Amino acid sequence: IYSARKGLKVTLIAERLGGQVKDTMGIENLISVSSTTGPELTGNLINHMNDYDITVKEHLRVSEVIDEEIKTVVLSSGERIDTKTLIVATGAKWRELNVPGEKENIGNGVAYCPHCDGPFFKGKDVAVVGGGNSGIEAALDLAGIVKSVTVLEFADTLRADQVLVDQAQARDNITIIKSAATQEVTAANGKVNGMKYLDRDTNEVKDVAVDGVFVQIGLVPNSAFIKDVIETSQYGEIVIDEKCHTSSKGIYAAGDVSTVPYKQIVIAMGEGSKASLSAFEYLLANSQRLEELYEAQK
Ligand SMILES: Cc1cc2nc3c(=O)[nH]c(=O)nc-3n(C[C@H](O)[C@H](O)[C@H](O)COP(=O)(O)OP(=O)(O)OC[C@H]3O[C@@H](n4cnc5c(N)ncnc54)[C@H](O)[C@@H]3O)c2cc1C
């Protein structure tokens, strides 16, 4: 929207419009909006975007970026788009546990999205792995649907905000186990029936009987397609400065895929706006040379 309002010709390429926002039902911290849901916010974003002349390419992935002065973006369809500037806002995805029984049981008890899959576990016992904000939020959401929630946290303290921890501790059907290293998801007859974890205080392997396991151990930035052409951090986040510049001239990054601290909607929105203004500044400063190069490449 910021790019279009500057009169730039904008193409938006998104595998799934709305991104992670689509996976959340309760949003109460988007400044000026007391309460909304992911689908509602996504709809509002699309409506706002439709006020402008923006070319949208949905359900397509960017598989490669060729980083010369005029950049070429290669799509999963094989289409190639030449552009003078590129803003990468590809976000992040759920991190997996990588223990036996996890991959094999996705869809049969192992889940990553409480809002999508929580209702399937109505009246059942579930575990949430991870005691950060996502994990405790998931536990609180699930506690309203399922019979019981057991939260397993690897560290000896919870990393979630105290306000969330207080709410979780006040719920009768949430149990929090700390210093628990998840070792295996167990199943019988194609359905999850429990988890094994190492009690890091006693070194004992313990079992917890559950019908579902929600993995909430963080996000991995979606930067693989571009990591060979720009600098990324040890966590795979695209390194940016305060104006969203990356290590490559003309490429900007914004939101969860970048090193910006705090991964939140309002921050991602602000960063996206900032990246657009930086791209516009770059285009103004280099307009003649970029136009000649762009025309020559056509
Ligand atoms: C369950 C859950 C609840 C949350 N609750 C809140 C909350 O209440 N409040 C809050 O502020 N934040 C919340 N967050 C965090 C918030 O959703 C993120 O910080 C925010 O969505 C980041 O926006 P983004 O645009 O950087 O990335 P994303 O939302 O991840 O969007 C990335 C976009 O890029 C696309 N994409 C990825 N790779 C490619 C590719 N190679 N080619 C083309 N397109 C690609 C994706 O399809 C998607 O459209 C929550 C997150 C989750 C998962």
DSSP string, 203-245: TEEEEE--SEEEE-S-EEES-TTTTTTS-B-TTSPBP--TT-B
What three-state secondary structure class fits 8?
coil
Task: Verify that 225 and 211 share a domain, yes or no.
Answer: no
Residue 141 CA, ligand 1 centroid: distance in Å = 19
* Chain segment 239-277, per-residue pLDDT in tens: 999 999 999 999 999 999 999 988 889 999 999 999 999
Using a 6 Å cutoff on CB, does residue 225 contact ligand 1?
A: yes
d(CA 272, CA 1): 9
Count of domains in the chain? 2
Of 215, 238, 261, the domain-final residue: 215
- Please tell me if the CB atom of residue 263 comes closer than 6 angstroms to any atom of ligand 1: yes
Q: Please tell me if the CB atom of residue 24 comes closer than 6 angstroms to any atom of ligand 1.
A: yes
Co-location of 51 and 129 in the same domain: no
Q: Whose CA is nearest to atom 5 of ligand 1?
A: 24
- Structural domain includes residue 32: yes
Domain final position from 167, 191, 215: 215
* Residue 94 Cβ contacting ligand 1 at under 6 Å: no
Choose which residue among 25, 83, 90, 93 to substitute to test ligand 1 binding: the one with the highest number of ligand atoms within 8 A of its C-beta.
90
Pocket lining: 15 vs ligand 1, CB cutoff 6 Å:
yes
- The 10s digit of each residue's pLDDT in 80-116 is 999 999 999 999 988 999 999 999 998 899 998 887 6
Within a domain: 15? yes
Tokens of 204: 């004992």
- Choose the residue to mutate in 17, 20, 37, 75 for probing ligand 1, maximizing ligand atoms within 8 Å of C-beta: 20
- Tell me, yes or no, whether 137 and 193 share the same domain: yes
Mark whether 145 and 167 lie in a shared domain: yes
Assess whether 61 and 83 both reside in one domain: yes
Residue 186 Cβ < 6 Å to ligand 1: no
Start-to-end Cα distance in the chain: 26
Query: Cβ atoms within 10 A of the Cβ of 236, count?
Result: 14
Between β-strands 212-215 and 204-208, what pairing exists: parallel, antiparallel or unpaired?
unpaired
Note the residue count of the chain: 298
Residues 206 and 255 in one domain: no
- 174 Cα: distance to centroid of ligand 1 (angstroms): 27
For position 262, what pLDDT does the model report?
83
Do 6 and 88 fall within a single domain?
Answer: yes
Q: Are strands 251-253 and 86-88 parallel, antiparallel or unpaired?
A: parallel
Q: Is 233 inside a domain boundary?
A: yes
Give the closest residue to 71 by CA, choosing from 56, 49, 87, 55.
87
Nearest to 258 by CA among 143, 29, 25, 87: 87
- Residue 263's pLDDT is 85
Domain boundary among 215, 232, 256: 215
DSSP type of residue 21: G
Protein residue closest via CA to atom 12 of ligand 1: 264
User: Do 205 and 277 have their domain in common?
Assistant: no
* Residue nearest (by alpha carbon) to ligand 1 atom 49: 19
Q: Is residue 25 part of a domain?
A: yes
209 found inside a domain: yes
The answer to the question of residue 98 being in a domain is: no
Find the CATH number of the domain harbouring 26. Answer: 3.50.50.60
Say if 196 falls within a structural domain.
yes
pLDDT at 29: 86
- pLDDT by position in tens, the chain (length 298): 999 999 999 999 999 999 988 877 678 889 999 999 889 999 999 999 999 999 999 999 999 999 999 999 999 999 999 999 999 999 998 899 999 999 999 889 999 888 768 988 999 999 999 999 989 999 999 999 999 999 999 999 999 999 999 999 999 999 999 999 999 999 999 999 999 999 999 999 999 999 999 999 988 999 999 999 999 998 899 999 999 999 999 999 999 999 998 888 999 999 999 999 999 999 999 999 999 999 998 7
Residue 163 lies in a domain: yes
Same domain, 52 and 135: no
Instruction: Give yes or no for a contact between 102 and 96, defined as CB atoms under 8 angstroms apart.
Output: yes
Pair (46, 77) in one structural domain? yes
**Residue 255 CA, ligand 1 centroid: distance in Å:** 8
Q: Which residues pair with 275 in a beta bridge?
A: none
Q: Are residues 227 and 288 in the same domain?
A: yes
Are residues 107 and 210 both part of a single domain? yes
Domain residues for 128?
A: 103-215
For ligand 1, whether the C-beta of 87 sits within 6 Å is: no
**What pLDDT is recorded for position 48?**
98
